[in-house]
Structure 1
């Protein structure tokens, strides 16, 4: 097959999920994100060349994550904060199952406490926090990782909420970013996992009262993560009782 006839990779189908509650209750948030954080995240992905991007929010039927939507989602972004408990267990479990089956999941900021992420991690996912206009510097600690491409040695965010260690998560498969805050804390801010056939990336920045999702470096990382988390061809997973491939010896069992 010649290069010009080689099949071209298809665009991943991305769904940006957001609880979309703060914008209705806090003018500071609605002023920053007049169309919602999900719209800003979707715009950032389109800015990086993704054309198949849709959004879903908590108060839509089935939280906007119907069976058809999930079945046609290659990468799901998840931002939640004050309404984790309002997400139905049934929908959360469907998200987990789709990850096992190969859907990519990017969990943003306070989504560390979301039902799908906690279910996939198997831990409390708790941490320290402080909202006090800390400066955040996200150091790239895995320069060769695809998620870190194009961002330089570090990303500087002038104002952000602090998250601090200990972060109660399993040891990441790969640690891509480590944050330092002006108050002195550090935090594992860019963590990858594989669960079943799916890839997961947790990315820390994104408190609702700061314009973090307009930051060029943050948008670059999220776009990189969407490409990385998209499903790739793999051998099928098989489970359950199986017939032998070869003839088994006959005779009485001892």
Structure 2
């Protein structure tokens, strides 16, 4: 069974207002619940847990890590970021959600600013499937409508994705690369834009399906372990 650790900074939901109404137990609890309903073994971790809940033992027992953060990216300890990066390079999958684009771990893995345009006016989004044969798009359909959301617009300062699965259009006319696949080392990474602390986007069945598909896609693949460094003996002929 695939083990998923759902990480969330868990600040907005404890401050009251719309975030606490939409996600009373935290975004992480909502994501963990629908992933568990789909057969994944889930646990949650938050910024204020010891070691941000991402101890060596937890990460060693994690196949896929999902990451949601927004207002406290700077509070994530560099030591923990490096710990997560090493696990991704070793094969752990990573799903970076919405404003997690500005997280230390995503920026470090991408090697760019990961900056973008944004506007929060509750606009409609049309999420278009541009790679329908990809496993993350399985059963999703041609497009998904998100009734109210925060706009993210190009330019999105990330490396060109190895596969672009989804592209978004917003009422203001902007477009955005919303479903980006990468590999770093042995690990698979998926950035998925839809999601916000004050809109019930993670309650939408279509969005839940995409995230579940992405977890399955990102889980580690069994393969031989490569060797590095000096190789004293040449291959034998015959």
Q: TM-score range by the shorter chain?
A: over 0.9
Q: What's the secondary structure of 1:171's corresponding residue?
A: coil
Q: Where do 5+ consecutive residues of structure 1 fail to align? A: 1-10, 248-254
Work out which of the two has the higher radius of gyration on C-alpha atoms and give 1 or 2. 1
How far does residue 179 in structure 1 lie from its aligned partner after superposition? 0.2
1:120 alignment partner, one of 109, 127, 131? 109
Give secondary structure in 2 for the equivalent of 1:209: coil
Aligned to 1:15: 5
Distance in 2, Cα, partners of 1:246 & 1:90: 40
The residue correspondences of 1:183-222 to structure 2 (distance < 5 A) are: 183-222=172-211
Where do 1:43-58 residues align within 5 Å? 43-50=33-40, 52-58=41-47
**Are the equivalent residues in 2 in contact too, given 1:48–1:220 (CA < 8 A)?**
no
Residue 228 of structure 1 deviates from its aligned partner by: 0.3
User: Does the residue aligned with 2:158 lie in a helix, a strand or coil?
Assistant: coil
Matched residues, number: 236
In 2, the alpha carbon distance for the partners of 1:81 and 1:238 equals: 38
Counterpart position of 1:39: 29
CA distance in 1, matches of 2:87, 2:197: 27
Structure-2-length-normalised TM-score: 0.97
2:14 paired with 1:24: yes
The equivalent residue for 1:224 is 213
Provide, for residues 15-36 of structure 1, a one-character-per-residue CA deviation record: whole Å limited to 9, x for no partner: 0000000011132111111100
| SS in structure 2 of the partner of residue 180 of structure 1 | strand
Please tell me whether residue 106 in structure 1 is matched to residue 105 in structure 2.
no
Residue deviations 1:61-94, cap 9 Å, x none?
A: 0000000000000000000000000000000011
Distance 2:80 2:235 in 1: 42
Q: What's the counterpart of residue 93 of structure 1?
A: 82
Gaps of 5+ in 2: none
Structure 1 residue runs of 4+, over 3 Å off?
none
Question: How many Å separate the matches in 2 of 1:237 and 1:224?
Answer: 28
- What is the TM-score when the length of structure 1 is the normalising length? 0.91
How far residue 246 of structure 1 moved from its aligned partner, in angstroms, is: 4.9
Alpha-carbon distance, 1:234 to partner: 1.7
